[in-house]
Amino acid sequence: MPMPQPQILPQGPSLRLSTQHERLILELLPFKDVVQFHEWLNSIYVRGSWYEFSRDFLSRNPLAPEPDKAKLAQQAKDAINSRNQKYLMYHPEKDNWTSEDHHIRFLVTVISDNLLKGLWSESDWKKRNIDIAKSCYEVLSFLRATAGPGVSDNPPRYDG
């Protein structure tokens, strides 16, 4: 069964925002063009984390403001470097999670999966961990901006 793709809104300021956001992300991530970026966005290295975030947070809080990028990037870096199981477990217990916890989980899983894939090397991570975390935050912001209205409260599961 094909996975649903985020839909870029067809007109107005949202489309301009998405295009500008896309250019910004391309400057932050190691992709040569928009095609590579979209292939990565639609890959298992991003989709599973996006579906989990959508299901567990965004479907219940569609208008929630985005948390502070610098703070989340630091917390994601710390969680990865300390191997914090709260965010790294396969199916973490999410009772009483805050908005920040869900955002950190997205960053941590995308970064961890892509470190394993080789998008970034361990050396890249050691030298540019905050920049990498901030770029993944921008990816999440981009996905939120292009998802369109009415986020499903039952998107496909990460594990299945």
Residue 7 in tokens: 């839909």
Contacts of 88 (CB under 8 A, 6+ apart): 79, 80, 108, 109, 112
CB 3 within 8 A of CB 106: no
Of the given ranges (13-22, 51-60, 65-74, 75-84), which has the lowest mean pLDDT? Answer: 13-22
Instruction: Give the pLDDT score at 2.
Output: 46
CA-based nearest residue to 101, from 129, 126, 79 = 79
Average pLDDT, the chain: 84
CB 151 within 8 A of CB 14: no
Distance of CA 129 to the CA centre of its chain: 15
pLDDT digits (tens, 9 = 90+) for 98-152: 999 999 999 999 999 999 999 999 999 999 999 999 999 999 998 998 886 544 4
pLDDT band for position 38 (50/70/90)? confident
Q: Whole-angstrom Cα distance, residue 124 to residue 131?
A: 10
Residue 156 pLDDT greater than 80, yes or no: no
Phi-psi category of 18—alpha, beta or left, where left has phi over 0 and alpha has psi -120 to 50? alpha
Instruction: Give the pLDDT score at 76.
Output: 98
Instruction: Give the pLDDT score at 25.
Output: 73
Give the position of tokens 């970034």.
120
